[in-house]
Copies of this chain bind each other. A is one copy, B any other.
Amino acid sequence: MSRWQPDTRERLERAALDLFTEHGFAETTVPQITARAGLTTRTFFRHFADKREVLFFRSADLQQLFVDTVTHAPEGTAPLDTVAAAVEAASEVLEERPAWSRERFAVISANPALQERELMKMASLTTGVAEALRGRGVGEPVASLTAEAGIAVFRVAFEVWIRATDGRDFRGVVRDSFAQLRAVTSGS
């Protein structure tokens, strides 16, 4: 049974994102999502607490990826470089499904309540990264500052990448953005 679950979850996610894009998030119901996916509402609620969760369940994986990358960076790596490596690692997740990223971003941008939720997820990501940095022996407030600056670069790079029409890859945008942060903070 359980080997089919990833597929079921992705079918529900695909149907939900299509409907959110076509009709708006608020206008879409769970029965509409399950009808589109050819599944039952009972199946939906086995995978998601509510329709909002369809947009956010991947955030936990992303946070784990960030925390793991920071935690396992080679000894002696500068704090900001461990976070840069984590943001670059997100490339694999995002490049695998660029259309999904773009549609999800559009749905969230159109809805203030979803934006609030996304901001909370970003705050949680920042807290997780700061904790991982403290685990490497980085003290406060440097751990928090580094995490905040790194996640700020992630957000800016994500928006540059999502709006780009020239097919630039996320990793390249991230590298440029970290270089720009360094220029901004040294340029005075």
A positions within 8 Å CB-CB of B: 77-81, 112, 115-117, 119-120, 123, 141-142, 144-146, 148-149, 152-153, 155-157, 159-160, 177, 180-188
Contact = CB atoms under 8 A, between A and B. Distances in A.
A168 to B, nearest CB: 12
A145 B181 contact: yes
A160 B144 CA distance: 10
A159 B127 CA distance: 13
B184 A146 contact: yes
A155 B127 CA distance: 13
A148 B155 contact: yes
Contacts of A81: 188
Which of A77, A120, A152, A157 gathers most chain B CB within 10 Å?
A152
A149 B152 contact: yes
18 contacts: A78-B187, A115-B120, A116-B116, A116-B119, A119-B119, A119-B123, A141-B156, A141-B159, A141-B177, A142-B183, A144-B156, A144-B159, A145-B177, A149-B149, A149-B152, A152-B152, A185-B185, A185-B186
Contacts of A145: 152-153, 156, 177, 180-181, 184
Nearest to A117: B116
B186 A186 contact: yes
B180 A186 contact: no
A32 to B, nearest CB: 27
A182 B184 CA distance: 9
Contact of A141 (B148, B180, B185): B180
A119 B37 CA distance: 35
Contacts of A115: 120, 123
